[in-house]
Amino acid sequence: MARETDPKKRVVITGMGLCSVFGNDYTAYYDKLLSGQSGVAPIDRFDTSDFPTKFAAQIRNFDSEGYIDKKNDRRLDDCLRYALVSGNKALEDAGLDAAALENLDKQRVGVLVGSGMGGLTVFQDGVKALVEKGPKKITPFFIPYAITNMGGAMLAIEKGFMGPNYSISTACATANYAFHAAANHIRNGDAEIMIAGGSEAPIIPVGLGGFVACRALSQNNDDPEGASRPWDKSRDGFVMGEGAGVLIMETLESAKKRGARIHAEYLGGAITCDAHHMTDPRADGLGVSTCIELSIKDAGISVSDINYINAHATSTLVGDVAEVNAVRKVFKDVQNVKMNATKSMIGHCLGAAGGMEAIACIMAIKTGMLHPTLNQNELEPIVEGIDTCANEKKAHTVTAAISNSFGFGGHNSCVIFAPFED
């Protein structure tokens, strides 16, 4: 398959929006990543005394002013708040203000913002109300604000977007699945513009407790900033994070017509399933290596064109090695490839991870700088020869970047971005 040349089918990125532990501005977010700052700290929004893990990359002092009215802001789950703010900020970044939206055919604009867990706080509070006070005390907003599709639905209602609109929920691969599906809607002619990404707000007692029960989390309470350590021999699990990452994906024809700034180009992507285990990846990385190969085929490029990998790299014992196994299967020569792990600083943002890491990829393309992977002290032997940007940022001209995201259930996803060339 050759690289796409039809301006009606070429997919470019014209806007980015996020909510992160480093704030809601993607430039400031990437500056913090480049500086090697960790967003991981002790949890302070609830009592963690009974939990073996007491830290996360928790968003503090979240500001939605100007994007959500005060009444809704009090009612909404943080998952929805993050989705609405990041979606609106992405539209602003794309130059799609109210006046610009009036000139669009809104039936050709869709929204695909997913979530791995949806409105978890609203769900937790609804169950608590039922158990403690009875069914009459359940809020009528319980179901609407708990389901995973409501963030994208509310954004569409607010803006009048009538194109494809649904939610994907594939655990920690959610945002990449959304990008892949959104791009296919554009290429199939279903839409000219898609708002796509993921949002997650899991840092509450039931979220923390659930992942503790899965034995998935680091318990390095003595050194929270050192807990997320992908590929390091002393890693002991992932660190929870939260936030949202949203892209405006648009046909090149539409972007040119309205004179939009183009951040980068989406070349292609792929999704596969391990069909192996509920939580563990295949140790040989077959599902992942197949996904990487299919994404390269979809992009119409060769393996040698990719020189940057934003790895899934959650800091788990099995997952980190399985991903590197897959990378080595596909990239026979790793000398010219650099690979880093955003999660070493912002934790694992679950359904939002792919969105926030896609923005890191695009910023790497724009700045020519790769952020460090923190806590690289003693790497697994299998990583030898791969430059993980260990503990320091690296200057690097990105020719094409692949971003990997994998989720419970064996869901694998890869998306590829590149500098835009007219």
**172 labelled catalytic:** yes
E strand map for 299-421: 308-310, 338-340, 369-370, 394-395, 401-407, 411-418
Measured CA angle at 141 (ends 136, 146), to 5 deg: 115
* Burial tier of 66 (Cβ tally within 10 Å: 0-12, 13-18, 19+): exposed
For residue 247, give both structure tokens.
């892209």
- Please pick, among 79, 172, 349, 361, the residue that the annotation labels catalytic: 172
Contacts with 131 (C-beta within 8 Å, 6 or more apart), sequence order:
none
CB 248 within 8 A of CB 90: yes
Measured CA angle at 38 (ends 50, 208), to 5 deg: 25
State which amino acid sits at residue 104.
L
Cα(312)–Cα(322) distance, integer angstroms: 11
Tell which residue, 63, 415, 89, 109, has the closest CA to residue 268: 415
CB 21 within 8 A of CB 241: yes
CB 407 within 8 A of CB 170: yes
Residue 352: C-alpha distances to residues 98, 118, 150, 178, 244 (Å): 26, 11, 15, 10, 5
Cite the active site residues: 172
